[in-house]
Structure 1
């Protein structure tokens, strides 16, 4: 895991606090994805700058309306790691605590077969929206993994979408 996620030091708490602010929610969606796309392209999929805070992947999903491939850098929580590669990932549609669902969640609802680039490797996946008890269990794991998700949920009336991606 990234250096900032290791331990429970001051640096991690500072990053978590900063990512919970409304200022971060206003600025980050415009800056972080652009930086991640550029770093990912220049390093042939080996580097995501935001992965210094949280594990990240590039999701390629079919646009719900356009039908065109859409590439989105996202934080994720790998699950069930075996042989070096996760068997599944949780994706959180927090949208940095903004009022609307992020577009990529509509894309996965319309077209659940997608692809993620995980540490430079393209992996075909199938996404499933988690609901009820399964979502509640995953949500608790996500809060332990990255506590600012609770702040994001507290800011919005919508239920933040949580998807599980499994390898196809």
Structure 2
């Protein structure tokens, strides 16, 4: 077993703001706002604070900054993602807000499973493994649905399988 990941959740998923944002994010308009406005701001906040703070922190959203290597460009790519924390594993899901295409970071991990996460002020090298076991995938997805109802909406909007990855420390 490798070392556990730090946990850096703050805020509350039960406060008024969270109760408003979660259902809004499940709508197509809300997803568009999150994807085009909040996500770029969150990427900046996470980078500037080395993953110690996130724009979604006040609503208790656990966000990690994932770095992958572009499969075509070879350039470093950075994506802020919600995650499910499971001790020595972080799970991330390629929902892409329910769009019909997989997010690029998932294809990057399939091509090169090495990456890094920035979380709680730490940059941690990771190795990704796609979750292919249907029972485990269902369990992990249920935990994402527990974070926000938006994941149920994302899954209903698309016919593709949402790629789930287990991230483990590489160091």
Structure 1 counterpart of 2:158: 156
The match for 1:4 among 12, 21, 30 is: 12
Structure 2 counterpart of 1:124: 125
Cα 1:43–1:138 change in 2 (3 A) is: closer
Cα 1:75–1:122 change in 2 (3 A) is: same
**Please, what is the CA RMSD of the aligned residues?**
1.7
Normalized per residue, the structure richer in strand is 1
Q: How far is 1:158 from its partner? A: 0.7
| Mapped pair 1:133 → 2:135 | yes
Q: Equivalences for 1:1-168 in 2 at 5 Å?
A: 1-5=9-13, 8-53=14-59, 54-80=61-87, 87-131=88-132, 132-168=134-170
Aligned to 2:37, the other structure's residue is in SS state: helix
Which segments of structure 1 move beyond 4 Å, counting only runs of 4 or more? none
Cα 1:127–1:13 change in 2 (3 A) is: same
**Would you say the 8 A contact 1:51–1:75 is kept in 2?**
no
Cα 1:89–1:44 change in 2 (3 A) is: closer
Q: TM-score, normalised by structure 2?
A: 0.85
Structure 2 counterpart of 1:83: none
State the alpha-carbon separation in 2 of the partners of residues 37 and 141 from structure 1.
23
Aligned to 1:49, the other structure's residue is in SS state: coil
Q: TM-score, normalised by structure 1?
A: 0.86
Structure 2: gaps (5+ residues): 1-8
